[in-house]
């Protein structure tokens, strides 16, 4: 069986690896000039660094299994994380329950309430009861205005911008659950990171796909998926400005839903499902600094005057010695595709950001910046609406032998590389089942 995979991100490459291992003839078509998609890396001073900060949680079982299977278990290192909150022009530690009790921007009674609610959500098993309520309404109802205005509301707004009232409660529940599951007995959050970045995983997947006799192709943008009588027949792609069509028995499309809709027309119901979750883009700045910016790996910004939602200082998770002594700081924003930030060039953005960085750390100086890089990702974060169970696009599309796998199918968990590997596994199981049904006895 000849299988074409659209997209060389974690979903596409994992599916290709598992299928090539089973002996299928697979080709991955990736439109851009690099593999890895959202989990891809760039070189800074000779060291690979993710375009957008990445870590692994302790309960990311599927990706951990894949890492082990590929023989990379020694590379997966676990580090103690640290969280800070910038609010009321001050920086607060927010890593442990004790830090929460000391968090002055809210009253003591609400600090205790916040602690209990966090614990309650972490212990709660039946997330389905939250399907019909938004996170926004649940927080207002059960946590009250102060916690909403001073802690969780700004975090929701920062993550989902104009859509913050739409995000469903199961998303919030799963966020609390995941972060709890990644804590050790002492209550410290422990996060995983590959010794040589996610590039190690991506390169290993590619190496094994090719070793198993399958192919991966960069700069191949798929422009349409052809079918005959509702059964997949071919794909068309553009490479070096030349359009080509090839026959294929099965297509796995891992592109974002809005891209998939451009490749083929589906019946109304499935098209509606592909449109149910909107996407936010991410604007990510990477600074390579001479000095440490803050003591925290992850800093949430609760301040409307600051034009970004968070700072992630990668070298507060992984030692700066791994990066030639440089400090790696990400400035991150999740924004709607029409946000004016996406119109600005990186120098304009840096000028805007520098003033805010000085507000957070008055000692910060532009001269600390050795190098800076800017990336934007358009399908960075699906916004999962209420009652999503019945709206998730199925892996098996209405076109026979066209399977769909992307981040809009991850529910109730937040999107992440682990769940991309999980979806790839589900797709492969489906194909194996189909094969089993059609094989001659
Ligand atoms: C800023 C940021 C931080 C993140 N942090 C974490 C983290 O800490 N931990 C974690 O686990 N996850 C994290 N994630 C999420 C994680 O990176 C994604 O969920 C995961 O990588 C998605 O993989 P994917 O293969 O489904 O999609 P993508 O990575 O989006 O891959 C899809 C690929 O399809 C290609 N494509 C699209 N259209 C076509 C076409 N027509 N023809 C050919 N190719 C096409 C794209 O170029 C792309 O390479 C983060 C994401 C972002 C943006």
pLDDT of 112 reads: 95
- Enter the CATH code of domain 2-39+198-276+392-438: 3.50.50.60
pLDDT of 97 reads: 81
Alpha helix segments (H runs only) across 22-168 = 61-69, 97-101, 108-123, 135-142, 144-147, 153-160
- For residue 10, report the distance from its CA to the centre of ligand 1, in Å: 7
Q: Is the C-beta atom of 421 inside 6 A of ligand 1?
A: no
Give dist(CA 25, CA 249) in Å, integer.
Answer: 10
For atom 19 of ligand 1, which residue has the closest CA? 416
Give dist(CA 35, CA 218) in Å, integer.
Answer: 7
For atom 6 of ligand 1, which residue has the closest CA? 54
Closest CA to 28 of 18, 40, 16: 16
Q: Is the C-beta atom of 161 inside 6 A of ligand 1?
A: no
Give dist(CA 116, CA 112) in Å, integer.
Answer: 6
From 28, 416, 419, 424, give the residue whose CB has the most ligand 1 atoms within 8 Å, as the site to mutate: 416
Tell me the two tokens of residue 57. Answer: 């949680």
Q: Is the C-beta atom of 254 inside 6 A of ligand 1?
A: yes
- For residue 360, report the distance from its CA to the centre of ligand 1, in Å: 30
Give Dmax over CA atoms of the chain in angstroms. 73
pTM across the whole model: 0.96
Give dist(CA 103, CA 54) in Å, integer.
Answer: 27
- For residue 379, report the distance from its CA to the centre of ligand 1, in Å: 7
Q: Is the C-beta atom of 12 inside 6 A of ligand 1?
A: yes
Q: Is the C-beta atom of 388 inside 6 A of ligand 1?
A: no
Q: Is the C-beta atom of 406 inside 6 A of ligand 1?
A: yes
Closest CA to 158 of 254, 365, 5, 298: 298
Atom number of ligand 1 nearest to Cα 29: 43
From 4, 8, 9, give the residue whose CB has the most ligand 1 atoms within 8 Å, as the site to mutate: 9
pLDDT of 384 reads: 95
**Which strands, in side-by-side order, build the sheet including 90-93?**
90-93, 83-87, 298-302, 310-313, 327-335, 278-289, 369-383
- For residue 214, report the distance from its CA to the centre of ligand 1, in Å: 22
| Average pLDDT, rounded, for the chain | 95
Closest CA to 66 of 218, 252, 213, 202: 202
CB atoms within 10 A of CB 423: 24
Q: b or e along 302-340 (b: 16 or more beta carbons within 10 Å of the residue's beta carbon)?
A: bbeebbbbbbbbbbbbbebebbeebbbbbbbbbbbeebe
pLDDT of 350 reads: 94
Give dist(CA 29, CA 124) in Å, integer.
Answer: 41
Q: Which helix (H) or strand (E) holds 161?
A: none
CATH 3.90.660.20 in the chain, residues?
A: 190-194+278-383
- For residue 283, report the distance from its CA to the centre of ligand 1, in Å: 14
Tell me the two tokens of residue 35. Answer: 């593999």
Atom number of ligand 1 nearest to Cα 34: 49
pLDDT of 440 reads: 54
Q: Is the C-beta atom of 192 inside 6 A of ligand 1?
A: no
CB atoms within 10 A of CB 188: 13
Q: Is the C-beta atom of 283 inside 6 A of ligand 1?
A: no
CA angle centred on 44, ends 42 and 46, rounded to 5°: 100
**Residue 88 backbone class (left: φ over 0; alpha: ψ -120 to 50; beta: rest):** left
For atom 37 of ligand 1, which residue has the closest CA? 255
Tell me the two tokens of residue 215. Answer: 């192919």
Closest CA to 278 of 340, 334, 345, 194: 334
Closest CA to 146 of 123, 166, 117, 168: 117
- For residue 89, report the distance from its CA to the centre of ligand 1, in Å: 34
- For residue 255, report the distance from its CA to the centre of ligand 1, in Å: 9
Q: Is the C-beta atom of 38 inside 6 A of ligand 1?
A: yes
- Which residue numbers in the chain have pLDDT < 50? none
CATH 3.50.50.60 in the chain, residues?
A: 2-39+198-276+392-438
The answer to whether 59 and 191 have CB atoms below 8 angstroms apart is no
Place of tokens 């990706």: 63
Q: Is the C-beta atom of 221 inside 6 A of ligand 1?
A: yes
Give dist(CA 376, CA 321) in Å, integer.
Answer: 27
pLDDT of 154 reads: 85
Q: Is the C-beta atom of 54 inside 6 A of ligand 1?
A: yes
Give dist(CA 87, CA 343) in Å, integer.
Answer: 28
Place of tokens 């590389």: 417
- For residue 11, report the distance from its CA to the centre of ligand 1, in Å: 8
Q: Per CATH, which fold does 190-194+278-383 belong to?
A: Polyamine Oxidase; Chain A, domain 2 (3.90.660)
């Amino acid at each position: 069986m000849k299988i074409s995979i659209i997209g060389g991100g974690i979903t596409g490459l994992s599916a290709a690896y598992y299928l090539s291992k089973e002996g299928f003839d697979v080709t991955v078509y990736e439109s851009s000039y690099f593999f890895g998609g959202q989990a891809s890396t760039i070189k800074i001073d000779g060291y690979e660094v993710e375009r957008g900060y990445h870590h692994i949680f302790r309960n990311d079982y599927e990706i951990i299994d894949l890492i082990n299977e590929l023989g990379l278990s020694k590379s997966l290192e676990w580090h103690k994380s640290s969280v800070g909150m910038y609010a009321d022009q001050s920086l607060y530690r927010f890593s442990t329950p004790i830090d929460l009790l000391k968090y002055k921007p809210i009253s003591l009674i609400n600090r205790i309430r916040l602690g209990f609610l966090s614990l309650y959500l972490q212990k709660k098993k039946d997330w389905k009861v939250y399907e019909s309520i938004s996170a926004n309404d649940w927080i207002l109802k059960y946590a009250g205005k102060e916690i909403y205005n001073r802690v969780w509301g700004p975090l929701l707004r920062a993550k989902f911008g104009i859509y913050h009232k739409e995000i469903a409660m199961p998303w919030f529940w799963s966020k609390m659950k995941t972060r709890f599951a990644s804590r050790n007995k002492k209550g410290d959050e422990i996060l995983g990171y590959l010794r040589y970045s996610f590039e190690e995983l991506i390169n290993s997947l590619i190496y094994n796909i090719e070793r198993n006799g399958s192919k991966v192709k960069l700069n191949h943008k798929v422009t349409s998926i052809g079918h005959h009588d509702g059964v997949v027949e071919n794909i068309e792609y553009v490479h070096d400005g030349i359009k080509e069509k090839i026959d294929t028995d099965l297509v796995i499309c891992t592109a974002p839903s809005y891209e998939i809709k451009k490749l083929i027309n589906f019946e109304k119901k499935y098209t509606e499902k592909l449109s149910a979750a909107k996407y936010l883009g991410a604007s990510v700045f990477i600074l390579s600094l001479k000095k440490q910016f803050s003591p925290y790996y992850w800093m949430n910004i609760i301040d409307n005057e600051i034009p970004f939602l968070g700072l992630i200082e990668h070298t507060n998770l992984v030692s700066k010695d791994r990066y030639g002594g440089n400090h790696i700081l990400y400035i991150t924003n999740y924004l709607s595709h029409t946000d004016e930030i996406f119109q600005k060039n990186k120098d304009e953005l840096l000028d805007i950001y520098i003033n805010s960085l000085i507000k957070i750390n008055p000692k910060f100086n532009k001269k600390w910046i050795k190098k800076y890089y800017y990336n934007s990702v358009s399908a960075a974060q699906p916004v999962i609406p209420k009652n999503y169970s019945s709206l998730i696009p199925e892996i098996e599309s209405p076109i026979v032998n066209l399977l769909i796998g992307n981040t809009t199918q991850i529910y109730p968990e937040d999107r992440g590389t682990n769940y991309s590997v999980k979806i790839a596994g589900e797709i492969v199981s489906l194909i194996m089942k189909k094969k089993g049904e059609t094989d001659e006895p």
